[in-house]
């Protein structure tokens, strides 16, 4: 909240509304004269959060869309410029914990992983239809998985018998490929392959790069942008973009190093452990 620097009357865009935790705090500071546009690709999250934030009335505008379309969204909403923009990337706990969304390596569900359930490509399509070579490339690039060739081979072998339908089926195939032993390894190797598939399904890195570039140009002089990322592929994009725009004198970097959660925060919220926050100000 301090990096966003919200004042009464501010115009703010929350690009990743989710359960509205950030938006609620922001609305408390900017209302009743300010405005918050809350974007989420997930219609279920939007419905729930609309209800939760209804006390803020016309200060809050929910939008079902991908933030890659921020130009179109803000034009349509009649926004001229923003005082602050936030992106809290990736998936929410609600999405991760819901079996039917098919994101979890632990909860059995049909392979899906779409943030926006109106969009086409699902995890099932990727796992069962991509060539072994494309799978291997994707797992290497988006999962940073050393054993990408082996994992892709095991997937191809398994699906040659019958399609791979569920999250838990896929997770056990990946664990077998990696020779995973729960006793020896801290991180389940299925996590990396699931991350890769999720990024591919939702074109997460493409949306981040394009969306962030556009968002920066909606900021007023002195306006702030804050991005919270959860893995190195995302953080690299944010870091490089901020650096490039600071060299061009478009942005001033506010956080020289990414801000990490305190030990207290990771103890009370273990999912925050990989979070990195970067903030910049429009010149």
- The residue ranges that bind ligand SAM (CB under 6 A) are 16, 18-22, 39-42, 45, 66-68, 88, 90-92, 115, 207
Residue among 42 and 145 whose Cβ is closer to ligand SAM: 42
Residue among 61 and 246 whose Cβ is closer to ligand SAM: 61
CA gap 257, 203 in Å, rounded: 27
Q: List, in order, residues 6 or more apart from 237 with CB less than 8 Å away.
A: 205, 208, 209, 212
Residue among 22 and 35 whose Cβ is closer to ligand SAM: 22
Q: How far is the CB of 161 from ligand SAM (least distance, A)?
A: 34
Residue among 109 and 189 whose Cβ is closer to ligand SAM: 109
Instruction: Count CB-CB contacts under 10 A for residue 214.
Output: 17
Q: How far is the CB of 275 from ligand SAM (least distance, A)?
A: 9
CA gap 3, 128 in Å, rounded: 44
45 in Cβ contact with 116 (< 8 Å): no
Which of 127, 104, 91, 103 is CA-nearest to residue 17? 91
Q: How far is the CB of 84 from ligand SAM (least distance, A)?
A: 14
Q: How far is the CB of 44 from ligand SAM (least distance, A)?
A: 9
* CA distances to 15, 84, 192, 234 from 187, in Å: 30, 36, 9, 19
Residue among 42 and 83 whose Cβ is closer to ligand SAM: 42
166 in Cβ contact with 108 (< 8 Å): yes
* Sequential DSSP letters for 63-118: EES-GGGHHHHHHHTT---EEEEEEE-S--HHHHH-GGGT--SSS--BS---SSTT
Question: Tokens in use for 168?
Answer: 């838990």
Residue among 66 and 104 whose Cβ is closer to ligand SAM: 66
Beta bridge partners of 271: none
Residue among 214 and 246 whose Cβ is closer to ligand SAM: 214
Q: How far is the CB of 256 from ligand SAM (least distance, A)?
A: 24
Residue among 4 and 177 whose Cβ is closer to ligand SAM: 4
Q: How far is the CB of 280 from ligand SAM (least distance, A)?
A: 18
Q: How far is the CB of 25 from ligand SAM (least distance, A)?
A: 8
Mark out the alpha helices in the chain (DSSP H runs): 21-30, 43-52, 70-76, 93-97, 123-129, 132-143, 148-161, 167-178, 190-202, 204-216, 232-247, 263-268
Q: How far is the CB of 126 from ligand SAM (least distance, A)?
A: 18
């Amino acid at each position: 909240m301090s990096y966003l620097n919200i004042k009464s009357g501010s115009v703010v865009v929350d690009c990743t509304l989710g359960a509205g935790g950030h938006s609620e705090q922001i609305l408390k500071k900017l209302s009743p004269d300010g405005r918050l546009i809350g974007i989420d690709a997930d219609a279920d999250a939007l419905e729930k959060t609309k209800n939760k934030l209804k006390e803020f009335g016309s200060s809050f505008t929910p939008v079902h869309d991908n933030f890659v379309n921020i130009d179109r969204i803000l034009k349509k909403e009649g926004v001229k410029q923003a005082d602050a923009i936030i992106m809290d990337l990736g998936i929410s706990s609600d999405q991760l914990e819901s079996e039917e969304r098919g994101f979890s390596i632990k909860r059995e569900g049909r392979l899906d992983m779409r943030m926006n359930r109106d969009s086409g490509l699902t995890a099932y399509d990727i796992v069962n239809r991509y060539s072994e070579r494309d799978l291997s490339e994707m797992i290497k690039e988006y999962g940073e998985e050393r054993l990408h060739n082996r994992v892709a081979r095991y997937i191809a072998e398994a699906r040659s018998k019958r399609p791979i339908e569920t999250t838990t089926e896929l997770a056990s195939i990946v664990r077998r490929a990696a020779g995973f032993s729960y006793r020896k390894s801290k991180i389940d190797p299925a996590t990396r392959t699931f991350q890769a598939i999720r990024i591919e399904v939702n074109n997460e890195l493409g949306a981040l790069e394009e969306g962030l570039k556009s968002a920066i140009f909606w900021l007023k002089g002195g306006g702030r942008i804050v991005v919270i990322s959860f893995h190195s592929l995302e953080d690299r994009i944010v870091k490089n973009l901020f650096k490039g725009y600071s060299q061009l004198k478009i942005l001033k970097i506010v956080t020289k190093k990414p801000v990490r959660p305190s030990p207290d925060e990771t103890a009370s919220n273990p999912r925050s452990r990989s979070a990195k926050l970067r903030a910049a100000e429009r010149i």
